[in-house]
Amino acid sequence: MEKRSTNRKSRSDYYRDWVAKNRERVREYKREWKLRNPDKVKAARERNSQWMKGYLKEYANSPEGKEVNKRAHEAYKQRFPDRVRARSIANNALIAGEMEYGECEVCGCKAEMHHDDYDFPLDVRWLCFQHHREVHREV
Ligand SMILES: [Zn+2]
Ligand SMILES: [Zn+2]
């Protein structure tokens, strides 16, 4: 009895343990609840996305958000140095007028640059957001 007092668990600890041990059951329960309450799920999803929109906007403009963005960009540069290098060379060429903006080669929409080979920065293909993602998924 004495020992327990030094190591007493709060109710939320118990709850967390229980959830950890019953992951499957919790998942099943949530799934069933969603099936029974589609309206609530939809409302919650809408509320959440509204909130996220505002939150993300505010967050991106806050000093903390800017810092996080910057760090993510740094990490990206470290992870894909050749990609970043190719893009910046191509951007410079665009600014210098050595290269022209293009439209998506698949659908003709507003496009972004895609490099088949980052060793050839000026060898650019133009693809819209969607088709660009598709090209990368195929690779
Ligand atoms: Zn396209
Ligand atoms: Zn690409």
Q: Is the pLDDT of residue 78 over 80?
A: yes
- Cross-strand pairs, 114: 125
Q: Are residues 39 and 55 in the same domain?
A: yes
Q: Ligand 1 centroid vs 124 CA: distance in angstroms?
A: 15
Instruction: Tell me how far apart the alpha carbons of residues 44 and 34 are, in angstroms, rounded to a whole number.
Output: 11
Query: Does some domain include residue 7?
Result: no
Helices 81-96, 63-79: crossing angle, 10 deg rounding: 100
Q: Ligand 2 centroid vs 61 CA: distance in angstroms?
A: 28
Instruction: Tell me how far apart the alpha carbons of residues 96 and 92 are, in angstroms, rounded to a whole number.
Output: 6
Write the pLDDT tens digit of every residue in 91-129. 999 999 999 999 999 999 999 999 999 999 999 999 999
Query: Does some domain include residue 44?
Result: yes
Q: Ligand 2 centroid vs 114 CA: distance in angstroms?
A: 4
Q: Looking at the 3D structure of the chain, how many domains does it have?
A: 2
Over residues 74-90, mean pLDDT: 94
pLDDT band at 7 (very low <50, low <70, confident <90, very high): low
Query: Does some domain include residue 98?
Result: yes
Q: Where are the alpha helices (DSSP H) in 1-139?
A: 2-6, 11-21, 23-36, 38-61, 63-79, 81-96, 129-138
Instruction: Tell me how far apart the alpha carbons of residues 13 and 19 are, in angstroms, rounded to a whole number.
Output: 10
Write the pLDDT tens digit of every residue in 21-34. 989 998 999 999 99
Query: Does some domain include residue 99?
Result: yes
Residue 91: domain span: 80-138
Q: Ligand 2 centroid vs 9 CA: distance in angstroms?
A: 52
- Cross-strand pairs, 110: 103
Instruction: Identify residues whose C-beta is under 5 A from ligand 1, the ion.
Output: 104, 106-107, 109, 128, 131
Q: Is the pLDDT of residue 131 over 70?
A: yes
Q: Which ligand is nearest to the CA of 111?
A: 1
